[in-house]
Structure 1
Amino acid sequence: MGDGSRQEPGVSLRADGWLSRPALGFNSLMQIPDKIQSSIKVHLGRFLKKDGAGRSVGAQISSEKARQSCAAAAEVSLDRQLQAWRDNPSWTDEPPEIKVTVPEGSLCNLNLKFKAGLPPDAVYDIIIDPENKRVFKNIKEVISRNVLLDEGSRQIVEVEQAAIWKFLWWSGILSVHVFVDQDRKNHTVKFKQGRTGFMKKFEGCWTIEPLFVDKELCLPLDPHTLEEYESCAGGRGRVGCAITLNQLIEPALLPPPPISWYLRGITTRTTEMLVNDLIAETARLRAISNNVEANKDAEEMCHANESHPTRLRGDIKDRWRQRRKSGRHGNSLRLTAQWL
């Protein structure tokens, strides 16, 4: 063998023809001068702190901590807003405003606007709740639910659910497959049909905006942001929400009049019932908060009566009479309308 076949110790020839050198071991590292050794250790440390995508593990941990911190701050803010409603639960629900248009080739485009006596985060939680079939009567069951993207405050979810439909004396179950883009930061819930079937196009968006219920507490100031409102109201101002539901429906086969008129009316009524179910749920939650405070008052009154046995009962009856009036008013907000 000549000089051309000689190789350096520890060097091997790879199958693709390139020379391969072994990685430096601990003994080899000890033979390197101190300054060079320290430099290698620093670079190796930086490399080991990164994942396969080149992202710093420390940065990932910081990002996760920031996400948890934001979630905790949002929860504290919601608790503070709910406390304001517990202190003053009075609210009168109003029926939604409905606008129906008929774009060419579609059955209808529905736009519903209404207000709710709960903070935006609370209403958002009702809409995105995987178990919200207990709230919305037209949902029979959730067949499947798969989270495709989770960015903390925003998720994209694939949902298939069985919806109840009724038309004249016919009724049945309709499978609805949608992709839902839910963004807590903007309080929007967008949905779009996945697999086509009876419906060619079914899409829309929930938009939830804060409503400053006790804005008069800020006079003469006129707050435009939630931070400004909470600051000038001293945390006592209630935050409600203004909600918009925009929904486009286009069946695979558009029937001629008068059947299309019936379908449009039933679709409008069904969507209105969906919104009314949401309004009824916000009223129920306010009533629960009111009852919690009532129970606290009852306990306080019991303790007071134990320490003051001669206290007149007339004042107590008056207080509970007011409580019962509030309870009856809250119950009157529940909707009893049935499916067509």
Structure 2
Amino acid sequence: MSAGLLASDVPLAQAYDLALVDLDGVAYTGHLPIEHAASSLEAARARGMRLLFVTNNASREPEDVAAQLSGLDIPAGAEDVMTAAQACAALLRTRLAAGATVLVIGGHGLVTAVEQAGLTVVPSADDAPDAVAQGYSPDLGWKDLAEAAYAVAGGAWHVASNRDLSLPTARGFAPGNGALVAAVVAATGVEPDSAGKPEPTMYRLAVERHGGERPLVVGDRLDTDLAGARSGGYAGLHVLTGVSSARDAVLAGPGLRPHFLGADLRSLLVPHPAPVAAAEGWWECGDRAARVVDGTLELDREGPAGIDVIRAACAAAWDAADGGAGPAASTVPELTA
């Protein structure tokens, strides 16, 4: 698949049959709705696109996630949700037989997923567990992390549901599961395997569940959602309603780059032009253009950015970076759609 932006002459909801939609920063922020999310997803469904909500959160049950979505006017059932807990349990079963013992450090969602996978949950490192499954829970404390460290140091296989360093909340960004996993790594020196994004495990399981032939990843984080799309060979739409900004996209390395860019989920409902190379190093998209000259990103004119100039800036910056002369970060302004 192309390392740059792709073009779609028809709305993405028509070009792709299954959307693998992230939650925080895409469908909602904390417990608050994101503007246009519910109406856009409803319109995408009306055009034939199936939705599966894929989250790195391993602390909640799929039923609870579905209930929250439904309460925000995004109808969903448990079968429409794929959590990092489910992916973690599936990864555990690639090496562990049914009945193997697992110390779960995390919330109820991870406990349920591990048990449903046919594994036996044990409460202590003293039980000599075969593995440690670690996921986020706001109730985790030092004793839980210490128990995980004791088990891993004793030879248990350490599997993290995800390694997100931060977690978006209504009050800002808080430490995520990756920060808690790092504490166990610091104590043991053992790097865990990870089931969540950016590993493509969740996306693969999601596609297998729904049988999509043309899946599209939709996310707000380049380092998880879109990196997972790239690593799994899936097309990815980056919406600018969450963690990663347009400037982040312009400066992204090859493994983090989206295939499509949109201000919000309304971008599922419109065609997407791709930037084209023009004279004197300019990259054009719509009526806007950008180029890189001597390590400096240049835009065709001042004024509001808009999504087309962001697309052009990405194309110019990525082309220059891949040629060994990308723009200096200090020359890339904040761009808003």
Give yes or no for TM over 0.5. Answer: no
TM-score (normalizing by structure 1): 0.22
With the length of structure 2 as denominator, give the TM-score of the two structures.
0.22
Instruction: Kindly indicate which of the two structures has a greater share of residues assigned to helix.
Output: 1
> Would you tell me which structure has more strand in proportion to its own residues?
1
